[in-house]
Amino acid sequence: MQFVVNREIFNAAINQVIGGVEKRQTMQVLSNLLLDARDGQLVLVATDLEIQLRTSLDVTVIKPGAITVNARKLADIIKAAPPEAAIRLHQSEGWIDIDIGTGKFRLATIEADSFPQMAIDSAHQSTLTLSEKNLFALIEKTQFSMAQQDVRYFLNGLLLEVNATEIITVATDGHRLAYAQLVHESAGQDKRQVIVPRKMIGEVLKSLNRESESLVNLTLRDNQIELLIGKNYLISKLIDGKYPDYSRVIPQFNSKTMIVSKSELKLVLQRASILSNERFAGAYFYLTHDQLVIESNNSEHESSKESLMVQYAFDDLKISFNISYLLNILSVIDSDRVCMVLEAPESSVLITPEIAGSVNVKYVLMPMKL
């Protein structure tokens, strides 16, 4: 195998797939990237046997062939190469030589035949298309609420629900819940729910252009999800489990609505976090007629207290929230003003944008005990 490639293009392609490389090195070859050069194209593949990432790029192929090479070492060499360099790679027996113009490097290789490819489950599948922009919004507006290393393993991923009229994403860690819905005509589509692992969610976000109207092909199989995003092909196993009934968590009967400027609330919360308890990062909310007072304190008895004007015409209410969780929610709401629908100090709050976007979002936040 021998080919020449532009450094910038090569570096971007490596970064696109390197997240799929096995980090625990249960098999040495899983630390490698598969490089397959032929017909003017270089295909890069990485896998940890749970997820597989593939992309392709235009190169000048002098001699076709395929080999695997350590992903991290290759990535570091190409990243450090001169930006405008023409990178030359030449495979010899057991090695690959990399010429970056200013120097040469030699890396050990493993034969391409040893590289494991994930088998495609050809069983029951559903396929749909949607824009990169809409898929990005569905994921970005919910993924931050996924649990991390929770013993309830099904919470360590994102619920993706598809039916004939809509696509829904949901994430929760038991303290907060994020819900996003896109009206989407998928004629004949049966209702399907799958749980996509955290790692796959991160790689999909990395592959998507948040402004692009280009279409993504999304296929759901019995135990796999696969996406074709431009030249990027991603496939992952699904989390096996039953996701909680999210509809029961979303408050239906809260009666006290507060409307507040998103930017003003964010600034007050950021200042309140300075003197909040480092472990719990909580703040007290005191609601009176058209006014919200936010207080925080820490174990050293330092404190902050700040008020802002809101729209609120109900009984006085005192409730506490995790500042970080609330800031996470505010960061993905596009509307300039936010609605918080409350009920009692121990009741969860429903948070929505005042003006809905093309993707309808709802957030549920449990109160804290401070």
Domain termination residue (choose one: 63, 85, 114)? 114
Q: Alpha carbon 366 to chain centroid distance?
A: 23
| 54/92 same-domain check | yes
Tell me, what CATH number does 165's domain have?
Answer: 3.10.150.10
Q: What is the per-residue pLDDT for 129? A: 93
> If you average pLDDT over every residue of the chain, what do you get?
94
The Cα 52–Cα 46 span in angstroms is 6
| 105/161 same-domain check | no
| 172/243 same-domain check | yes
Kindly tell me if the per-residue pLDDT of 353 is higher than 70: yes
| 261/244 same-domain check | no
The Cα 119–Cα 107 span in angstroms is 29
| 243/275 same-domain check | no
* Structural domains of the chain, count: 3
| 138/231 same-domain check | yes
User: Which of these ranges, 143-157, 174-188, 220-234, 343-357, has the smallest mean pLDDT?
Assistant: 174-188
Phi, psi of 50 (to 5 degrees): -105, -30
Q: What is the per-residue pLDDT for 190? A: 76
Q: What is the per-residue pLDDT for 124? A: 64
Q: Decide if 315 contacts 293 (C-beta within 8 A).
A: no
- Structural domain includes residue 320: yes
- Structural domain includes residue 28: yes
Domain termination residue (choose one: 63, 94, 114)? 114
Which letter does DSSP use for residue 311 in this model?
A: B
Kindly tell me if the per-residue pLDDT of 121 is higher than 80: no
Tell me the average pLDDT across 55-73.
97
- Structural domain includes residue 121: no
Tell me the average pLDDT across 38-51.
96
The Cα 57–Cα 191 span in angstroms is 36
| 31/131 same-domain check | no
Q: What is the per-residue pLDDT for 182? A: 95
- Structural domain includes residue 149: yes
| 132/185 same-domain check | yes
| 72/162 same-domain check | no
Burial of 185-208, coded b for 16+ CB within 10 Å and e otherwise, reads ebeebeeeebbbbbbbbebbeebb
| 282/207 same-domain check | no
Percent of the chain with pLDDT over 70: 98
Two tokens, residue 177 = 């819940």
- Structural domain includes residue 99: yes
Supply the range of the domain harboring residue 133.
126-248
- Structural domain includes residue 120: no
- Structural domain includes residue 370: no
Q: Decide if 59 contacts 42 (C-beta within 8 A).
A: yes
Domain termination residue (choose one: 248, 264, 296)? 248
Degrees (nearest 5) of the Cα angle 286, 287, 290? 140
- Structural domain includes residue 119: no
| 262/230 same-domain check | no
pLDDT in tens, 286-313: 999 999 999 998 888 889 999 999 999 9
Two tokens, residue 114 = 């040893």
